[in-house]
Amino acid sequence: MTQIYTILFDLDGTLVNTAPDLMAAHNHVMRKFGYTEKKLDDIKSLAGKGAWVMMQRSFKEEIKSEKMKKEMTKEFIDFYAKNIDHHSKPLDGCFEFLKWAKTENISMAVCTNKQEKLAIDLLKKLNMYEYFDYVAGSDTFSFNKPDPRHLTDVVEIIGGDLKKTVMVGDSEVDALSAENAKLPFILVKDGYTEKNENEIKHNDLISDFVGFNEIIKKYL
| 10-54 per-position pLDDT tens digit | 999 999 999 999 999 999 999 999 888 888 888 888 777 678 878
In this predicted structure, the answer to whether residue 100 has a pLDDT above a threshold of 90 is: yes
The reported pLDDT for the residue numbered 1 is 46
Same domain, 10 and 36: no
Same domain, 142 and 68: no
The reported pLDDT for the residue numbered 65 is 87
* Domain enclosing residue 163, as ranges: 5-17+89-216
In this predicted structure, the answer to whether residue 185 has a pLDDT above a threshold of 60 is: yes
Interval 138-161: pLDDT, tens: 999 999 999 999 999 999 999 999
Tell me the three-class secondary structure of the chain, residue by residue.
CCCCEEEEECCECCCEECHHHHHHHHHHHHHHHCCCCCCHHHHHHHCCCCHHHHHHCCCCCCCCCHHHHHHHHHHHHHHHHHCCCCCCEECCCHHHHHHHHHHCCEEEEEECCCCHHHHHHHHHHCCCHHHCCEEECCCCCCCCCCCCHHHHHHHHHCCCCHHHEEEEECCHHHHHHHHHCCCCEEEECCCCCCCCHHHCCCCEEECCCCCHHHHHCCCC
The residue that leads in pLDDT, 145 or 60, is 145
Residue ending a domain, among 66, 82, 98, is 82
Task: Say how many domains are in the chain.
Answer: 2
The reported pLDDT for the residue numbered 3 is 62
Half-sphere exposure in the Cβ direction for 2 (13 Å, CA): 3
Same domain, 27 and 61: yes
The reported pLDDT for the residue numbered 133 is 98
In this predicted structure, the answer to whether residue 2 has a pLDDT above a threshold of 70 is: no
**Residues tagged active-site:** 10
